[in-house]
Amino acid sequence: MENQRVDMFLMSHSRYFESYQLMEIRNLLMQAEDEKMTQIHLQSYKDPTTMLIVSLIAGTLGVDRFLIGQTGLGILKLVTIGGLGIWTVIDWFLIMGITKRRNFKRLIDGLRY
């Protein structure tokens, strides 16, 4: 893939990934075929800041975990009322990193298939 397209992708999507992942993403995109770029652009990545806001507002109900695709943990968080509030507070600090790692996994899976 050409440098300009890869750099544009990284500039517009860097907030969705951890900073240490960006070089690896760049290398993977440079090695990928051109038709994969369209598929990667069509994927929806979750915004970590939005997920933090959701976690602050409705984290006790597990909505944040449901939105990032962790259905089992979402149900567990809902049933335990956010781990009696303890899990909810812990997630306020962790949810942005979890979201960025899930976005990275989604990107890698998109490049594989």
DSSP 13-70: HGGGS-GGGHHHHHHHHHHS-HHHHHHHHHS----HHHHHHHHHHHGGGTHHHHHTT-
The dihedral region occupied by 69, where left means phi > 0, alpha psi between -120 and 50, and beta the remainder, is left
Does position 97 have pLDDT exceeding 60, yes or no? yes
pLDDT score recorded for residue 1? 56
Which pTM was predicted?
A: 0.86
- State yes or no: pLDDT of 113 exceeds 80: no
pLDDT at 21 over 80: yes
Query: In this model, does residue 98 exceed pLDDT 60?
Result: yes
The HSE-up count of residue 4 (CA atoms within 13 Å, CB side) is: 0
Q: What is the pLDDT of residues 51-78, one digit of tens each?
A: 999 999 998 999 999 999 999 999 999 9
